[in-house]
Amino acid sequence: MSSVMVITVDGPVAAGKGLLSWRLAEHFGLNHLDSGMIYRATAARLLDQGDDPTDEAAAAFAAESLEISDLQRSDLRLQSVGQAASVIAALPSVRAALLRMQRRFAAKPPGAVIDGRDIGTVVCPDADVKLFVTAGLDVRAKRRFDELVGRGQSPVLAEITAEIAERDKRDMERETAPLRQAEDAILLDTSELDADQALVAALKIVEQQLKAPAKTSI
């Protein structure tokens, strides 16, 4: 194992990756990056300028000129920003610009927990531990619904379910870095688990993987 420890947490929308990754990072004293936020921040910049999210040149420019302050915007969690993020996320030049940023983050000691869609497959293929976190569509939609209600919004469950399904489909079917489980990632289905139980299950997987003999190639 290298002196920088990297744990990747990939999976579909609202699988519980964000909180789980943050808690894993706390537990192991690592940095945490929610990579979805950089796609969301890029999309938010484009929407501000009135640019079309399918305009690749404008989207790539927004990705290359992303600043730390963009990641602190309060509107990044809006459903509309998430949808636009998954549109720009399919553009190869946007992904290339954001890839460099994510790899720099992963390489900073003492290491990081990074959650997203392609972290174990593309961004950090040599990570120490890879998790693929998922849950049934209905469970994920209900979680997102409860989260929005908690924020004082009045969402419609059927609309949330359809939006999540649409975003997952786009993320899985794009040509560049589609959402998929890395061959060496361990699957964690959180359908029947609350956040504390998911953390216990994830810690068990991470501890087991860290103890496993180092991978060899011949």
Of 32, 45, 144, 167, the one binding ligand C5P (CB under 6 A) is 167
Of 23, 32, 45, 117, the one binding ligand C5P (CB under 6 A) is 117
Q: Which is closer to ligand C5P, CB of 54 or CB of 208?
A: 54
163: contact with ligand C5P by CB under 6 A = no
Q: Are strands 186-189 and 5-10 parallel, antiparallel or unpaired?
A: unpaired
151: region left, alpha or beta (phi > 0 left; psi from -120 to 50 alpha): alpha
Q: Give the shortest CB-217-to-ligand C5P separation in angstroms.
A: 26
56 near 64, Cβ under 8 Å? no
Q: Give the shortest CB-22-to-ligand C5P separation in angstroms.
A: 13
| Beta sheet of 129-134, edge-to-edge order | 31-34, 111-116, 5-10, 129-134, 186-189
Q: Which residue has the tokens 């927004």?
A: 62
Q: Which is closer to ligand C5P, CB of 47 or CB of 85?
A: 85
Beta bridge partners of 9: 115, 131
Q: Give the shortest CB-187-to-ligand C5P separation in angstroms.
A: 18
Residues forming the site for ligand C5P (CB under 6 A) = 13, 35-36, 39-40, 82, 85-86, 89, 116-119, 167, 171
